[in-house]
Amino acid sequence: MTTAPSGAAEDFGLRIEPHRRELLAYCYRMLGSVHDAEDLVQDTYLRAWRARDSYDESRASLRTWLYRIATNVCLTALEGRARRPLPSGLVAESEPLAPLVRGEVPWLEPLPDAMLGARDPADAAVARAGLRLAFASALQHLSARERGALVLRDVLAFSAAESAEVLGTTTAAVNSALQRARARLGEAGADLADAAEPSAAEQQTWLDRYTDAFVRADVDGIKALLTEDVLMEMPPMVNWFTGRDGYGQFMGWVYGVGGTDWRTLPVAANGQPGFAAYRRDGGGYALHTLQVLTVTAAGVSRNSVFQDAEVFASFGLPARLDE
């Protein structure tokens, strides 16, 4: 095979680059890890570049071709690899004040919104629903091919024929995998057709009210912003619990142990609002946790609290804040 002229190679690079961010989101949904997703996208682009002379636009669109390469990379990476759940999908609910127990398993990581950049407002709602932590966690309980079928068909709106091309299988196999995946997600209560979320402005208002109460160590103020069935989980700890009163008890314990002097920095992950919490430590504030909120019209319904150095690094969070 002859080598493409340098001009053609440069043109190919320009053509595939606009797909990088959506492929990152795809690999993240498949793997549940930001760092693995970045590595797999790099591998996808390397393979695409090496195979550029074999691409035939009469057989598949460039986007479909890239997704097939990314899918093969993801399926290979998933062989023999442990799933990445959240505690609420792994163990039974615990009491709010039960001793914290560390789980030695790979956990689902939050995906910084900044990695995806601006999205088309026309599909922003679907993109957000397909990245929510609860949905991403539920995907981890599907087989690799079920994940692929569900994301391609229900999140990315590929046709059955396109999905079969990407997955290297038949349309019948895709439809069968999709049916199983939808049933399992329905059982887990992670349907993409959930009730509409508040607008971005409304979610920001809820976040501002929550962080204001948080830094003032106002437990009653925090409880007033929660839904009755609110869920809190905190990987790498396996503990998780539900209920407004239990949430209040736990926050009372947090302030009793960690003090009442806190600062926050806003973050956005998986299309959801959140913040980094910093606890008073000597002459400044030390990074303590990253918290991602699920907000409904009735209040905060879920708080996924992460305490992991790799997660902190992916968000570019400073280790300390000054006075």
242 touches 227 (CB < 8 A):
no
**What confidence tens digit (pLDDT) does each residue in 166-223 have?**
999 999 999 999 999 999 988 877 766 655 678 889 999 999 999 999 999 999 999 9
**pLDDT confidence tier of residue 6, bands split at 50, 70 and 90:** low
**pLDDT confidence tier of residue 10, bands split at 50, 70 and 90:** confident
Q: Which residues lie below 8 Å from residue 89, measured CB to CB, with a gap of 6+?
A: 137, 138, 140, 141, 188
**What confidence tens digit (pLDDT) does each residue in 240-252 have?**
999 999 999 999 9
* Residue 100 maps to a domain: no
* Residue 112 maps to a domain: no
* Residue 204 maps to a domain: yes
* Residue 177 maps to a domain: no
**What confidence tens digit (pLDDT) does each residue in 143-179 have?**
999 999 999 999 999 999 999 999 999 999 999 999 9
86 touches 233 (CB < 8 A):
yes
* Residue 9 maps to a domain: yes
Domain boundary among 53, 81, 109: 81
User: Domain range spanning residue 230?
Assistant: 200-321
Q: Which residues lie below 8 Å from residue 33, measured CB to CB, with a gap of 6+?
A: 84, 106, 108, 109
How much is the pTM?
Answer: 0.91
Helical (H) or strand (E) element with 12: helix 6-16
DSSP assigned state of 216: T
| Ordered DSSP codes for 62-111 | HHHHHHHHHHHHHHHHHTTPPP---GGGTS----TTSPP-B--SPPP---
CATH number at residue 228: 3.10.450.50
* Residue 313 maps to a domain: yes
* Residue 91 maps to a domain: no
**What confidence tens digit (pLDDT) does each residue in 108-117 have?**
999 999 998 7
Residues 268, 123: Cα–Cα separation, whole Å = 18
Overall domain count for the chain: 2
